[in-house]
Amino acid sequence: MAVKKNTTTTMATKAHKADKKAPTPVQKKAIAKVQKKDISDHDDSQSEDDNEEDKENEEDEENQEQDEEATQEDTANGNNNESEPSNVTFKDLGLMQPLVDACEQLKFKAPTEIQRESIPWSLQGRDIIGLAQTGSGKTAAFALPILQALWNNPSPMFACVMAPTRELAVQISETFESLGSTIGVRCCVIVGGMDMMAQSIALSKKPHIIVCTPGRLQDHLENTKGFSLRTLKYLVLDEADRLLDMDFGPIIDQILKVIPKERNTFLFSATMTTKVAKLQRASLNNPVKVEVATKYSTVSTLLQYYLFFPLKSKDSYLVYLLNELAGNSTIVFSRTCNDTQRITLLLRNLGFPAIPLHGQLSQEKRLGALNKFKSGNRNILIATDVASRGLDIPSVDIVLNYDLPNNSKDYIHRVGRTARAGRSGKSITFVTQYDVEVYQRIEQALSKKLEEFPTDKDAVMLLQERVAEAQRFAITELKEQHASRGKGGRGGNKRLFNADDNDRDDDSVQAGGYKSKSGAARGNRQGKKMRK
């Protein structure tokens, strides 16, 4: 095993010894503050009706239940509890010098509240349930103690971090690599949509940290010769409430059967389930619940708005807003892959630099879309909820909920793609005559009424004709894509949007609009430009 022990060995050894000793005053303070939340004494959730779990097979009921849970919890806990200023340093938390240095290199001036409150516990070897707002640094909160433990007791397959989406897994791995750069950590990403053989080879090289999506991990556990997680010391479920829900829960159950019971388990999310049965799925051992926010709180730097209009005007409002907010980096969330694709085509027809991200694209295209958006090559990402959790793209200014999310949890995660790490951001949620009930549940969960985003309705109406024309072109293009896939195109019907024509690498964004290398504003067939 080759965790690089460098010149900081002495300091590391000291830090390690310090860990084994009594907690420092700062640790004591943090521990005292959190002690009251020790889940072993914190069984308010146990009073919840276990029968509610039985309802989980029906999605609508689950959504409703989540929203009801939100309302109850908010009433019980009050509101937002954002980080107070603190002089505590990473060193004070008991972290060894190489990790303190890595934080410095990443320009982390001081630990965030979830880091301050959870890291001392994690270093003490406790299991953690960590709840903190979106963009509050939860990844480092679980990564730093694992890296320290790895340094102290190096072994392959030391930790496994599970995430609900492939893109998030890649991002978490990058965080481990940058925080662990000073100690030579080796990470491996195991996600669906990528070559199994290449992953098997990567696993055979005995990485320290495996970051994965559950389905692909299970696949390797069952089918990759010589691969096991017998030496695993840490298991992390990031976006734990999602991983413990009915989609992923059964796979997690299977995985838990084949990993050591003697391990540490960390559950982290911005929205956590209080259902004991769900938490028990993760087989926690005397966990500490570290809550630095109420379950459904958003950060104060996020300005949230709604817009109410009839369904038929939805695309016109979208185009109007993107015109008004031109120059901002924007994520537009829609409900289905098909609509994501349709909206992208519509916007491209009007000259907007939009790029789609959804589950029916090949993994290569998903990562490509994300990279183009991250790099600013495209500044409008049209996405399904595949992009709603965890993705950390500091440049995002605006989140537009074109379609309402299914429940309040998804709302919290979606709008949390902006206003991260103390930055400001805006979210605008479209509400039509069919969405009022769901929208009201979201407001109830947030415990506040959102303001209406100011618009010039006459200007929106003036756009209608051109938008209608672009809609027709988009539908025709979409039908052509479906037809070409149906005629034996790559991927057949299952992967309707795999082909290059949906995510053209030959496109280039030129000042003021979206153009192809062929010269004319591609897709802008009307020769009109909507962008300002």
**Minimal distance, residue 384 CB to ligand ATP, in Å:** 17
Q: Does the CA dihedral 32-30-289-45 come out positive or negative?
A: positive
134 binds ligand ATP (CB under 6 A): yes
Name the helix (H) or strand (E) containing 75: helix 59-77
Are 197 and 123 in contact by the 8 Å Cβ rule? The answer is no
Whole-angstrom Cα distance, residue 285 to residue 266? 10
Nearest by Cα to 49 from 287, 276, 253: 276
Cβ at position 166, least distance to ligand ATP in Å: 15
Contact pick of 359, 390, 425, 513 for ligand ATP (by CB under 6 A)? 390
Q: Which residue of 125, 376, 394, 492 would you call a contact of ligand ATP, by CB under 6 A?
A: 394
Taking the complex as a whole, the smallest distance from the CB of residue 327 to ligand ATP amounts, in Å, to 22
Stretch that binds ligand ATP, among 11-19, 42-50, 132-140, 504-512 (CB under 6 A): 132-140
Residues in region 139-158 near ligand ATP by CB under 6 A? 139-140
> Rule CB under 6 A: is residue 137 a binding residue for ligand ATP?
yes
- Site membership for ligand ATP, residue 108 (CB under 6 A): yes
Q: 273 and 239 in contact (C-beta within 8 Å)?
A: no
| One of 65, 127, 241, 392 touching ligand ATP (CB under 6 A) | 392
270 binds ligand ATP (CB under 6 A): yes
399 or 478, CB closer to ligand ATP?
399
User: Which residues inside 424-483 make contact with ligand ATP, applying CB under 6 A?
Assistant: none
Query: With respect to ligand ATP, which residue has the nearer C-beta, 115 or 432?
Result: 115
Q: Closest CB to ligand ATP among 3 and 140?
A: 140
**Binder among 94, 416, 425, 523 for ligand ATP (CB under 6 A):** 416
In the bound complex, which residue of the shown chain has the CB atom lying closest to ligand ATP?
137
Residue type, 522: R
Give long-range contacts, CB 8 A cutoff, 24+ apart: 335-339: 335/384, 335/403, 336/384, 337/384, 337/496, 337/497, 338/478, 338/496, 339/402, 339/403
Instruction: Single out the residue of 421, 464, 489, 531 in contact with ligand ATP (rule: CB under 6 A).
Output: 421
Among candidates 293, 291, 289, which has minimal Cα distance to 127? 289
- Find all residues with CB under 8 Å of 107, minimum gap 6, and list them: none
Distance CA 316, CA 292 (A): 40
The helix/strand/coil state of 308 is strand
Q: Which residues are at the interface with ligand ATP (CB under 6 A)?
A: 108, 111-112, 115, 132, 134-140, 270, 390, 392, 394, 416, 420-421
